[in-house]
Amino acid sequence: MGDAVDDQWLGSLHQFPTILHARASLSFDLSPDSLQKALVAALLSLRALFLPRMITVADKNGYSEGKMGFKIGVGNGEGFDVLDAAEEERILDRIENRGAFGALDLAFHLHYTIDDSLEHKLHEDHYLVRLVFQPGRVEVLVHHLKGIKRVEPVELVSLILEQLNAELTREHFPLADLDSISST
């Protein structure tokens, strides 16, 4: 287990982009600690999903049946650490011992596959997401880093909220509400 010095940048990025492609506001009615623990569980479950998706490919006409998967990283100063069981432990340990995060920076790499025998190299979408926590509210700031936006920034927010609410339901907590969302 690392000590607090190792984790001083846990959850944050030195330079979060100032250009936003979406912003949203969520409200919740539970403690920030409980919300953040549920959020970590939700992100881990999102990472395990492969969602069906119709995908266009350059060398085929129309749409093909495919899947979308998620790689998620947690800010750590200059870069990101992959969200896995060890990282989950670090984050939960931080919340337990030092309280809820004021903000949490995340990276989402959305990767796509299509269901055919050809080896298509499909471009990923890379997003940076900053969650800013206030009492009873979370501001969600989304920056599209690269890719062709097969998933729009507002859709990414919806996917995160859906997983969060599924986790809150499992924990018998009140659901988070989407108060506002806009793309920029």
126-162 residue pLDDT tens: 999 999 999 999 999 999 999 989 999 999 999 999 9
Q: Is the pTM of the predicted complex or chain greater than 0.85?
A: yes
Segment (H or E) for 167: helix 153-170
Sole residue written with tokens 């947690």: 74
Q: How far apart are CA 10 and CA 23, in angstroms?
A: 23
The domain ranges of the chain are 12-183
What are 142's two structure tokens? Answer: 């989304």
Q: Beta-carbon neighbour count of residue 88 at 10 Å?
A: 16
Question: Of all residues in the chain, what percent carry a pLDDT higher than 90?
Answer: 71
Q: What is the pLDDT of residues 100-109, one digit of tens each?
A: 999 999 999 9
Domain 12-183 indexed as CATH 3.30.530: yes
